[in-house]
Amino acid sequence: MKTRLSLSFCLAAALVMPSLAFASLGGNIASIQADQVQMKATSRIASTQANYTVHEIQSSSGTVVREYVAANGTVFGVAWNGPVVPNLRQVLGQYFVPFTQATKTQQSDHSHLLIQQSNLVVRASGHMRAFRGTAYVPSMLPQGVTTNEIL
């Protein structure tokens, strides 16, 4: 119960606290460079696959956000890992409202959250100083890309 409260508290805090900006789910690749400058963070292309590229931004807090960008320039998935939950309003973009609505009715165990809808999948887990999560839009996955590739 204590771990669930910790995860819930940290997710809630990430929703309301001002935070560093990241490119948002469903957004355009052009926002990645602007986010890096605004965050004063490091950015690099972590990998390039046949159907997508993974851009990685590391904030000064140590949190790493990976943005999965399809060949058409659309961010179809995001993942985060680090001591601080990123600003989920920014990370999830237009999918933030469906996310918050789903969290109100979603059952979760002690330290995990799973939202699985036709237009949004979010998996999050963690405890103080160790958070991770993924979010993607199933309909935006490039052909041949599996959900296991979004880490």
* Mean pLDDT of each 10-residue bin along the chain, 151 residues long: 45 44 75 65 85 91 93 95 90 92 78 92 93 97 95 89
**In whole angstroms, what is the distance from residue 96 CA to residue 148 CA?**
22
**In whole angstroms, what is the distance from residue 116 CA to residue 135 CA?**
10
**Per-residue model confidence (pLDDT) at position 55:** 92
**Per-residue model confidence (pLDDT) at position 59:** 87
**Per-residue model confidence (pLDDT) at position 46:** 87
**Per-residue model confidence (pLDDT) at position 28:** 85
**Per-residue model confidence (pLDDT) at position 111:** 81
Question: Tokens representing 81?
Answer: 């890992």
Q: How far is CA 38 from CA 16, 109, 123, 129, in A?
A: 19, 36, 27, 23
**In whole angstroms, what is the distance from residue 137 CA to residue 139 CA?**
6
**Per-residue model confidence (pLDDT) at position 12:** 47
**Per-residue model confidence (pLDDT) at position 40:** 64
